Amino acid sequence: MTTKLFGQRVPRVEDPRLVTGDGRFLDDLGHDALEAAFVRSPHAHARVVDVDVTEALEVEGLVAIYTYEDLDGRTNERLPLLIPHPTLTHGRTQYALANGEVNHVGEAVVMVVASDRYVAEDAASRIRVEYEFLPAVVGVAAARAAEHLVHDDVPGNVAAVMVQQTGDAAAAIDAAPHRLELDLEIERSASMPLEGKGVLARWDPDDRSLLVHTSTQTSTSVRQALAAKLGLPVDRVEVVTPDVGGGFGVKIVHPWPEEVLVPWAAIRLGRPVKWTEDRREHFVSSAHERGQLHHVRVGYDDEGRLLGLDVEFWHDNGAYIPYGLIVPIITSTQLLGPYKPGAYRVEFRSLYTNTVIVTPYRGAGRPQGCFVMERVMDAIAADLGLDRTVVRERNFIRPDEMPYDQGLVFQDGRALLYDSGDFPASLARLKDLVGWDDFASYREQARAEGRRVGIGLACYVEGTGVGPYEGGHLRVETDGSVVVSTGLTSQGQGHRTMLAQIVADELGVPFDRVSVTTGDTRRFKYAVGTFASRTAVMSGSAVALTARKVRDKALHIAAEALEANVEDLEIVDGHVRVQGSPSSSIDLGAVAVLSNPLRYAFDEAAARATQFAAPADPDRAPVGRGEQPGLEGTDYYSPPRSTFANGMHAVVVETDPDTAEIRVLRYCVVHDCGTLINPMIVEGQIHGGVAQGVGGALYERMEYAPDGQLLNASFMDFLMPYATEVPDIEIDHLVTPSPLNPLGVKGAGEAGVIPGAAAIAAAIEDAEGITISKMPISPSDLFELRRQHASREDSA
């Protein structure tokens, strides 16, 4: 009896190739291609007056130089606004190359194509662009003040104003026995995968078809966008994802200017063209996220139960808004976490600034919302002198209240309806894991030694597995191997391993006979993409359903061949056999042969399916109505709404009384993503998310000068944590299966990062006795807070 793989720590099939240096990332491809480089605006806001390419023309190896004036067809239109919303009344997107105006440092103005990147940069450096400076709007405060505008036709720099509410929050707060007001801020960070973006395009003039490799999170959507922009039939465009060196959200945006321009140039030049983004480009021309300013009013009773919550916030969306309002919508809705807010009102303004665009970065607005809610919980606890876990427990939605409708609309346009979760149980596990009840005495003991330690916790809920759908295709080959494909993409999450585990179990085949392809439009054409922690839920379920479909077909064909009843058959190790009678069996490869009635045998195995060899009912059509040849199937999974994972983190920090350095001593996670397909992969995702949470809490901040220059556009000054900055991470799982999909799974990809800033802020506050309302926080920030606090206390 084969062991079930579902739930096992199966080592990854992706590894052997990657770890031996045999990966095929974008820049590893296309050695024969021309290479592109860009002249990018050095100014945050300016009119482009003139472009002088004279000196660049002398560079040996130069092939072409393009500006906006060269773009034709639909390539000279603005890039698409991907996710419209009724409240997004002033949506603005950019042109692929600047059309007379630039709105952030890094915006592409001129494209250079040359024999290699060195030469392309030589030519680019010789291009003289004349700009007329315009005032730059940088930061939420400047955007709100609107002394200057980013876009002339967008009053107040406001792209959208959106309100969601349940009940009458203002009244509830006014009537409450207790009230608090908080101002909170999270600063901008970014996904920052180790591999930047990249595009390789080949135009085949004989076939009149375009093949594009791009380091994207959504090959199917890029395909549609390119077909539209380049005026090509969709079936003449294929988009393939190579190995991708991380995404974390930034590669879901599409089409990037370069994704349009590189194929356009390849077609025009009749040569393959490649662009590999360098790190500086990534800082100033991909996307950032996290920057928000919040003003909160909350009313609560003597027990600390929320009666009303009113949140007003300002979201910095950067110079353009191609991804719409997804991030602030997620903040608005996921802010509620595992709690009942009483009455709730949230209003946000999404504001333009002359900075890099803002699109989802792992967590996608949830870290901000979690920060706000968890600071509120801690503030209530402090005000009432209650234990911080007690206040949370009193506000939890209870398991018997599931499904719980928060009465709001989520980012997928569907109800914010929590389907599963046991928050009290998760919290109990977390308290046990970190030793919450023993901490006070530990803190005292440390204090006696002259050390400052503190503990903090944060809880969150995450809507995962958003639709609209994903699909799976599975085919059993005549040699018994199983070929699977799904349309979404992979950036290191082990999808091929996870999906192969599902297929191996569902179909009854050996794991090592299953191969999975993701993100290749030649193999699977209908998909949405990889984002929002949805792969296990969406493609996992779709692939499971597909495998069941194929299994059913296999059993029916085998039943005829074995002259048995379908109900008596099982598939074990790739053999269909009669239960309890293993000698009566047929292997799946043979079933595949039989599934495709042939006139011509192309090999020995195929001979068995030819008309004189195979037993067949002479009066029945070889392929019946509604049937298809081949042992293969396609199926889709499309849920009515998201399924809700949750988690809780607890952090112990130590702060140095003298240097104000901050050190994370322990990081504990209790995590509920429903059933676990591969716990090793899930834990890896949590580790990575936690590291980004620590980074966002203590190290990572995009530093924009008032004139819009990004001061830390390199890894020297944008500080991502090394191994010495991330502690060992302790994880405990709780499993409340999702009722919404056949596997009971919930998404896990983003979980690790969501509560990091909140939990660390809480722990620092606990250690220092100083309110922390802004993240990230550096030792220098803490030093200044200490001084302000001390002088307030002196004058108190």
Partner 1 sequence: MSESLVRVSFTVNGAPYDLELPPRRLLSDALRHDLRLTGTHVGCEHGVCGACTVLVDGAPVRSCLLFAVSLDGAAITTTEGLRAPDGGMGPVQRAFHECHALQCGFCTPGFVTTVAAYLRDHPSPTHEEAREAIAGNLCRCTGYVNIVAAVERAAELLAGSAGSAGTAPDGAAPGLPEDAAAPEPSGGASRRLPPDPSTVAAAPSVRPLADGAGAPPASAHPAGRDSS
Partner 2 sequence: MKPPAFTYHRPRSLDEALDVLASLGEGGKVLAGGQSLVPLMSMRLSAPAALVDVNHVPGLAGVEVGADAVRVGALARHSAVEHDAAAYAALPLLRQALVHVAHPTIRNRGTTVGSLVHGDPAAELPAVLCLLDGSITLRSAQGTREVPAADFFLGPLETDLRPGELAIAATFRRPPAGSRSAFVEVARRHGDYAVCGVGALVADATVRVALVGMGPVPVVVDLSEAYDGQRLDEDRARDLVDAQVEPEGDIHATADYRRHLAHVLVARAVRQSGSDRRAA
Which residues inside 773-792 make contact with partner 2, applying CB under 8 A?
A: 778-780, 783-784, 787
Of the ranges 120-128, 212-220, 440-448, 566-574, which one interacts with partner 2 (CB under 8 A)?
120-128
CA distance 464 to 241: 23
Euclidean distance between CA atoms 193 and 15, whole angstroms: 19
Q: Which does 780 bind (CB under 5 to 8 A by kind): partner 2, partner 1, none?
A: partner 2
Distance CA(518)–CA(483), nearest Å, equals 11
Bridge partners of 203, per DSSP, are 210
Q: Which does 479 bind (CB under 5 to 8 A by kind): partner 1, partner 2, none?
A: none
Please classify residue 582 by burial: count the beta carbons closer than 10 Å to its beta carbon, then call 0-12 exposed, 13-18 middle and 19+ buried: exposed
Say how far apart CA 666 and CA 142 lie, in whole Å.
39
Binding mask of the shown chain, residues 735 to 764, with x at each position contacting partner 1 by CB under 8 A: x----------------x------------
| CA nearest neighbour of 642 among 728, 549, 532 | 532
d(CA 337, CA 354): 32
194 near partner 1, judged by CB under 8 A: yes
Partner whose binding site includes residue 193, from partner 1, partner 2, none (CB under 5 to 8 Å by kind):
partner 1
Determine if 121 is a binding residue for partner 2 (CB under 8 A). Answer: yes
Contact partner at residue 778 from partner 1, partner 2, none, CB < 5 to 8 Å by partner kind: partner 2
Q: Does 526 bind partner 2 (CB under 8 A)?
A: no
Q: Does 610 bind partner 2 (CB under 8 A)?
A: no
**Candidate list 104, 345, 551, 733; residue touching partner 1; CB under 8 A:** 733
DSSP letter assigned to residue 41: -
- Scanning the structure block, which residue is given the tokens 């002198």? 385
Of the candidates 494, 339, 506, 499, the one whose C-alpha atom is nearest the C-alpha of residue 406 is: 339
Rounded to a whole number of angstroms, the minimum distance from the CB of residue 765 to partner 1 is: 18
Indicate whether 277 belongs to the interface with partner 2 (CB under 8 A). no
Considering the rule CB under 8 A, would residue 279 count as an interface residue with partner 2? yes
CA–CA separation, 552 and 108 (whole Å): 53
Q: Of partner 2, partner 1, none, which one sits near residue 31, judging by CB under 5 to 8 A according to partner kind?
A: partner 1
Residues 694 to 723 in contact with partner 2, rule: CB under 8 A? 699, 701, 703, 711-712, 714, 716-717, 719, 721-722
Q: How far is the CB of 662 from partner 2 (least distance, A)?
A: 11
89, 125, 445, 791: residue in contact with partner 1 (rule CB under 8 A): 445
Pick one of 1, 3, 21, 270: the residue that binds partner 1 (CB under 8 A). 21
89 vs 125 by CB, closer to partner 2? 125
Would you give the end-to-end CA distance of the chain in angstroms?
Answer: 74
Strand order in the sheet with 101-102: 101-102, 46-52, 128-133
Distances (CA, A) of 322 to 90, 110, 230, 249, 256: 12, 21, 19, 14, 10
CB-nearer residue toward partner 2: 565 or 659: 659
Nearer to partner 2, 286 or 643 (CB): 286
Size (the chain), residues: 796
Our finding on whether 579 is near partner 1 (CB under 8 A) is no
**Residue type, position 347, single letter:** E
The residue (of 148 and 789) whose beta carbon lies closer to partner 2 is 789
Which is nearer to partner 2, 172 or 199 (by Cβ)?
Answer: 199
Buried b (16+ CB within 10 A) or exposed e, 611-646: eeeeeeeeeeeeeeeeeeebbbbbbbbebebbbbbb
Q: Tell which residue, 469, 341, 488, 361, has the closest CA to residue 416.
A: 341
| Structure token digits, residue 739 | 């009722």
Count H helices, E strands: the chain? 20, 29
User: Among 192, 321, 532, 782, which residue interacts with partner 1 (rule: CB under 8 A)?
Assistant: 192
Binds 712: which of partner 1, partner 2, none (CB < 5-8 Å by kind) = partner 2
Residue with structure tokens 């007329």?
A: 132
Residue 304's contacts (CB-CB under 8 Å, 6 or more residues apart) are 380, 381, 384, 386, 390, 391, 394, 395
Q: How far is the CB of 649 from partner 1 (least distance, A)?
A: 13
User: In the range 493-522, which residues lie near partner 1 by CB under 8 A?
Assistant: 493-494
Q: Which does 703 bind (CB under 5 to 8 A by kind): partner 2, partner 1, none?
A: partner 2
CA atoms within 13 A on the CB side of 183: 0
Closer residue to partner 2 in complex, CB, 703/730? 703
The verdict on 794 binding partner 2 (CB under 8 A) reads: no
The interface with partner 2 within residues 125-154 (CB under 8 A) comprises 125
The three-state secondary structure class of 166 is strand
Q: Is 663 in the site for partner 1 (CB under 8 A)?
A: yes
State the residues that interact with partner 2 by CB under 8 A: 117-118, 121-122, 125, 278-280, 658-661, 699, 701, 703, 711-712, 714, 716-717, 719, 721-722, 724-725, 778-780, 783-784, 787
